[in-house]
Amino acid sequence: MWSYVFRRVLMTIPTILVVITVCYLMLHLTPGGPFDTERKVSEAVMANLQAKYHLDLPLWQQYLYYLKGLLQGDLGASFRYADWSVNELVAKALPVSLTIGGVSLLISVVIGVLLGTVAALRQNSAIDYLVMLIGNLGSAFPSFVIGPVLILVFALWLSWLPSGGWQDFELRYMVLPMALLTFINVSTIGRVMRGSLIEVMSSNFIRTARAKGLPTRTIVLRHAFKPALMPVVSVLGPLAISSITAAVVTESVFSLPGIGKLIVNGASNRDYTLVLGLVVLITVLAVLLNLLVDLAYALLDPKIRY
């Protein structure tokens, strides 16, 4: 077990390094420096600027400087937002994204598992059809179609909620984005839970439990629930990654000042360091999340031996 944990933890390092290196190289092999588009500056100022950002050094030294900065938790300076470091921009945006994404992921695990369980136990009931409907809608309708439709209905036609924007973690502004993310996640979790519980309920040990005369409630809660949760745990990793994608879209749709909005703005402003910094940060987060999910899986599933 511990050797597996050790190996699994070690594996994250090359992944993170490869991503950083590839992105860094891509950034620096594209023609044009970060100050080319600015108005003409004098030779001396240019030289100073270049020296400040280590742009006068050979590439591998710049790269080492960047890595050193990263190790100290410094993502560098933004090339577009003057006087802002990437760290400061991230510090402002990350809480927004984490709140929206984290809370909605928690809610959707609870709702998804509940709905999936009921759907599996009462096949062809109304709840079963609801789960299948949500699953179908979630897989076919992209978040950037559902999102605007939510705004159209709840903000513009019914005017219950604001159509977007953000004000100091006020709940009114979080409802629609969280509803969208929850819907997308529930569509996956509900489907997976339903499928896996149906499979578990038809297995031999459940038949034995039934034969012993245990009531259904005990069978489900005691025997079926835990093994049925395993696929849900394993889908959490990919789900966390797709939540990042969904967050980028959601923040664009509802114009929330989160990480996703920051990266899209950075991309359209060609703010290279900002985009690179965010990509590095989120990759590290995603890789760590995957690691956690894998370790949790190893811990929970007694069938896996290492």
Interacting residues with another protein (CB under 8 A):
11-12, 14-15, 18-19, 23, 26-27, 30, 136, 139-142, 144-145, 148-149, 151-152, 156, 238, 241, 244-245, 248-249, 252-253, 263-264, 266-268, 270, 272, 275-276, 278-279, 282-283, 286-287, 290
Count of Cβ atoms closer than 10 Å to residue 233 Cβ: 17
DSSP run (H or E) holding 224:
none
- The smaller minimum CB distance to another protein, of residues 41 and 267, is found at 267
Between CA 140 and CA 117 the distance in angstroms is 23
What is the nearest approach in angstroms of another protein to the Cβ of residue 127? 22
Count of Cβ atoms closer than 10 Å to residue 186 Cβ: 26
- The smaller minimum CB distance to another protein, of residues 155 and 214, is found at 155
Two tokens at 186? 């529930």
What is the nearest approach in angstroms of another protein to the Cβ of residue 270? 6
DSSP of 48-87, one letter per residue?
HHHHHTTTTS-HHHHHHHHHHHHHTT---B-SSSTT-BHH
What is the nearest approach in angstroms of another protein to the Cβ of residue 94? 14
- The smaller minimum CB distance to another protein, of residues 25 and 91, is found at 25
- The smaller minimum CB distance to another protein, of residues 12 and 87, is found at 12
Two tokens at 87? 């760290």
Residue 72 backbone phi and psi in degrees, to 5? -85, 5
- The smaller minimum CB distance to another protein, of residues 12 and 50, is found at 12
Q: Give Cβ neighbours of residue 120 (< 8 Å, ≥ 6 apart).
A: 128, 193, 194, 195, 197, 198, 201, 228
- The smaller minimum CB distance to another protein, of residues 24 and 173, is found at 24
Strands of the chain (E only): list them.
Answer: none
What is the nearest approach in angstroms of another protein to the Cβ of residue 66? 15
Among 38, 31, 24, CA closest to 79 = 38
Angle at 238 between CA 91 and CA 136, to 5 degrees: 115
